[in-house]
Amino acid sequence: MNAIVTVPPYASFIDEIAAHPLVSGLRLNTVMPLRESKRDVLARLSKFKQPLWVDLKGRQLRVAEPAMPPFTEIKLSHAVKVHTPVDAYFSDGNERVRVAAVDGKRLIMEDGPRRMVGPGESVNIVHPSLQIEGTLTETDREYLAAMKELGLTKVMLSYVESVADVEEVKNLLPNAEVVCKIETQKGLDFARREKSEHGQLMAARGDLYVEVLQPHKIIPALKDIIQADPNAIVASRILDSLAWTPVPVSADISDIAFLLEIGYRAFMLGDQVCMKRDSAIEALNVLAAISSQ
């Protein structure tokens, strides 16, 4: 077993994480705010013991501007077309709200969410008519330019659904090593069809769990991805209870055991559990302990 760990760019404990025997890489989530240039943060994080993976957002829908209730619109990172009215999901799928209409990058809401919605929050619209305009964001392109300048090659690409998505990255970073994050139904079709021909696959469960719509369908989705790529990485919703309690809940332990049982050996810890040193280290220790059983 090995693990890639998400690192907050200004965390004081990155050295300790990189030295953990289970760790095979570090991941920068590119929605995290910076006080320095993209080139400078990449140069700094690439000096640690483990290789740096840069996680690009691609066509993933995210909130572009803060919206404060009461409000009637939310601006997205991409323009969309979709038949309305339609449901949109926030908070990892825990909030379902109704969209009355769309206008390019604007979602015009019927109601909610009844809270402040912040930039970078993920938005899921699970409907077959959904069309997302464009793939790489301007921020993605800036990171790729900085990577090229520094000679970095390891890219995670969100919401991969076609070979063209990978080619767009390689056109800007010709020697890119691309991990294809599978997060949608179209992404699952891509994984089943293309296997790992265009890059290592990742079962990115944060959004994939929402996008399968019926929660139990995450099980065949996870099995399809590991069958398509025996070296696939499984990511997100892993030991997240440690972000809140010093001991993981029973369901988290069983989840890891299930993932190992169906063949996953590469794990990626997400933002929530990695924001603090103690929870990140404990998650790595728990993974190691379970894998040794």
> Rg for the chain (alpha carbons), in Å?
19
Q: Is residue 64 part of a domain?
A: no
CATH number of the domain where residue 219 is located: 3.20.20.60
User: Are 205 and 191 contained in the same domain?
Assistant: yes
In this prediction, what percent of the chain has a pLDDT beyond 90?
Answer: 92
pLDDT digits (tens, 9 = 90+) for 51-109: 999 999 999 999 999 988 777 799 999 999 999 999 999 998 999 999 999 999 999 99
Q: Is residue 68 part of a domain?
A: no
Structural domain total, the chain = 2
pLDDT digits (tens, 9 = 90+) for 65-75: 998 877 779 99
96 exposure class (CB count in 10 Å sphere: 0-12, 13-18, 19+): middle
Residue 259 predicted with pLDDT over 80: yes
Hey, what are 1's tokens? 């077993």
Nearest to 288 by CA among 275, 270, 269, 274: 269
User: Are 128 and 18 contained in the same domain?
Assistant: no
pLDDT digits (tens, 9 = 90+) for 175-190: 999 999 999 999 999 9
Q: Is residue 107 part of a domain?
A: yes
Q: Do residues 106 and 82 make contact, with C-beta atoms less than 8 angstroms apart?
A: no
Q: Do strands 73-75 and 106-111 pair parallel, antiparallel, or not at all (unpaired)?
A: antiparallel
Output the pTM of the full model.
0.94
User: Are 162 and 280 contained in the same domain?
Assistant: yes
User: Are 214 and 93 contained in the same domain?
Assistant: no
- Mean pLDDT of all residues in 6-32: 96
Q: Please report, for residues 106, 173, 200, the alpha-carbon distance to residue 163 in angstroms, rounded to integers and kept in the order given.
A: 28, 15, 13
Give the per-residue pLDDT at 113: 86
pLDDT digits (tens, 9 = 90+) for 194-223: 999 999 999 999 999 999 989 999 999 999
Nearest to 88 by CA among 116, 56, 121, 134: 121
When the pLDDT of each residue in the chain is averaged and rounded to a whole number, the result is 95
> Which residue is listed with tokens 């309690």?
245
Domain of residue 82 covers 73-132
User: Are 227 and 107 contained in the same domain?
Assistant: no
User: Are 168 and 215 contained in the same domain?
Assistant: yes
Q: Is residue 89 part of a domain?
A: yes
Q: Is residue 110 part of a domain?
A: yes
Q: Is residue 15 part of a domain?
A: yes
Give the per-residue pLDDT at 196: 95
User: Are 189 and 53 contained in the same domain?
Assistant: yes
User: Are 84 and 55 contained in the same domain?
Assistant: no
Q: Is residue 167 part of a domain?
A: yes
Q: Residue 278 in 3-state DSSP?
A: helix
